[in-house]
Amino acid sequence: MHDPRVLLDPATDAVRRLARRGFHLDVESLEKLLTSRNSAIHRGDEARAEAKRTAAAVKSATPQERPALVERARELKAVVSAAESEHRELEAQLQDLLLGIPNLPADELPDGASDADAEVVRVWGEPPAFDFTPLDHVDLGERLGILDLPRATKLSGPRFTVLRGKGPALERALARYFLDLATEHGYTEFSVPTLVNRETMTGTGQLPKFEQDLFKTGVGDRELFLIPTAEVPLTNLHARETLALEDLPLAYTAHTPCFRSEAGSYGKDTRGLIRMHEFSKVELVRIVDPARSRAELEVLLGHAEAVMRGLGLAYRVVKLAAGDIGFSAEFTYDVEVWLPGQQRYREIASASDCGTFQARRAGIRTKAKDGTRGFAATLNSSGMPIGRTLVAILEQGQQADGSVRIPEALVPYTGFDVLTPA
């Protein structure tokens, strides 16, 4: 969330920057609400100050003076009450407006609004060459006997999956491998709830704008949401807290199931494991000094890339266009893995710098040794989504005889180095 005064400061250039991501900032409405709210605050403060002076005057007033002063005190009490009521209403309207304004994209991001506008930063590894026509992960998974989409559809409908045999073993191995790498890089592992409240979802920017993308449930009269990513609970661990600046950065990780309705995405990636309603992921979150957020993003990206390199998977890093980054992000790198079945690179992880945007919403403050206060910067990245990494392993590791070679780094976790057709 933004400080409205910063949005209205010409030096921020908020209108132009938000237009790059396709958002029109209604400056007139924002300025009107801010002015009206501040006016209500000022009227209330003036009335309270006069009421205090009037109360003191009543004590020393003569019998003749006292009735008029008492009447004035009643009038001032009504003025204060009206000003407070108006302030609350205008504050709520202002907050609603601010909660719907996305983060300001960094100027160094390329123009555009789709993955076609992304800027390639680097490419690692050679896409595997085959002397046969490579299969996609669905055909491979079914031949190997580890993937059963028809039964998943029978149980829950489309965009769910059932893994069996060595499939779940490989899925479990990936999670352990990712978490071990994360702890080697200094991340503290957490086990967090997958059901969170509205305030928590609002803190990281999923609400109110993207409620249609979430699965909502409840316990009694409690409203709860299934998390779309562990970024939500991990970042909000420090909601409404003040952190010592010298204790930053904080580095957290968690392996959780994730749930997304994929509203508006039907017709996209309907085959296989690319776009699911339920999937598991290891998430990386860093809470840092805002002055170091962009440098910390490079550190975070390096940790995501280390996963890919450790598995020997060909990938590339792209800088997303200004109109294609997430609501809370100001800068995003995507890690895209090569999928032979599609003959293209596909996103497998995103590393984003959110600046102080989420911290303002969640109330994650900082205090320096000299007493200076501010807000933390938050960053997040997929440490990898298990399903999409499984897709890449199947497709890049496939052999002419229908088997799939398992990356060497996973063998200590799986106990096997090859998947063979069932």
Beta bridge partners of 373: 367
pLDDT confidence of residue 271: 78
**DSSP secondary structure string, 116-173?**
GG-EEEEEESPPPP-SS-PPPHHHHHHHHT-B-HHHHHHHH-SS---B-THHHHHHHH
pLDDT confidence of residue 268: 62
Q: Could you check whether the bond before residue 340 is cis, i.e. omega within 30 degrees of 0?
A: no
Q: From the annotation, which residues make up the binding site for L-serine? A: 229-231, 283, 382
Residue-wise over 221-254: b if at least 16 C-beta within 10 A, else e?
eeebbbbbbbbbbbbbbbbeeebebeebbbbbbb
What is the C-alpha separation between 399 and 405, in angstroms, rounded?
A: 7
Residue 264 has pLDDT above 70, yes or no: no
Residue 266 has pLDDT above 60, yes or no: no
Q: Which residues are catalytic?
A: 260, 275, 347, 350, 388
Tell me the mean pLDDT in the region 364-374: 97
* Global confidence as pTM: 0.93
pLDDT digits (tens, 9 = 90+) for 304-318: 999 999 999 999 999
Angle at alpha carbon of residue 72, lines to 70 and 74, rounded to 5°: 75
